[in-house]
Amino acid sequence: MKPHKLTKENYQSGQVVLIDKPLNWTSFQVVNKIRWLIKQHFGIKKIKVGHAGTLDPLATGLLILCTGKFTKKIETYQAQIKEYTGTITLGATTPSYDLESEINQTFDVSKITSEEIQGTTQQFIGKIQQQPPPFSALKKDGKRLYEYARAGEEVEIPKRTIHISEFEITKIEMPNVEFRVVCSKGTYIRSLAQDFGKALNNGAHLSALRRTKIGDFSVENAVGIVEFEEIIKS
């Protein structure tokens, strides 16, 4: 269900707000904007608002926001399985595994077949070991990994166990490969794109990403920031 007009008490006692995050916004910026809108409209000095799972600035789609007492439920929502759609671009790698950084290496994709691409997905189904990208917010020795990466420092990033239950190729238009993935908490789709390129003895990076589901929540029931503002002011 898309959000309808609620009272100040509703937001304070606790609400789940589903936002369709726009491109180039950080998850933190979305939380700040929604908190500001609620405070401004209802004249509240303070209200808790948090999100249940970060989306990168270059990703769009479902962001679960919790207000008031519902912020205690954030960890529960974070643990649920997630569905993404997006595009992997073959033939080139970037240090960040996506378009946040410039291409650093190119490869010939002329001999890669559709059958190879479809078949390679099977290597990633089930419980696998994945290395998080160097440009991520994970901490090592008290510093974010992206801080090391931006300073040009190489650090050892331990792999971790994730689970991918579905990995479907939905369209191939070389060098772009569109996909749908259903995966566990802690999965980095950027790393999946990088590893997919390696599995094809090539290179790849993530060029588009959209989160479509978290557990039983769907982006179809989410609203954009402008629409949320219209609802709250109506």
Q: How far apart are CA 60 and CA 226, in angstroms?
A: 15
User: What span, in angstroms and rounded, lies between the C-alpha atoms of 18 and 140?
Assistant: 31
Assess whether 195 carries a catalytic annotation. no
Nearest-angstrom CA–CA distance, 149 and 196: 22
Look up residue 141 and give its two tokens: 């020795």
Q: Phi and psi dihedrals of 21, rounded to 5?
A: -65, 130
Contact present, 80 and 184 (Cβ < 8 Å): no
Q: Which two tokens stand for residue 45?
A: 């000095």
Residue of 20, 56, 98, 195 marked catalytic? 56
Which residues are part of the catalytic machinery?
A: 56
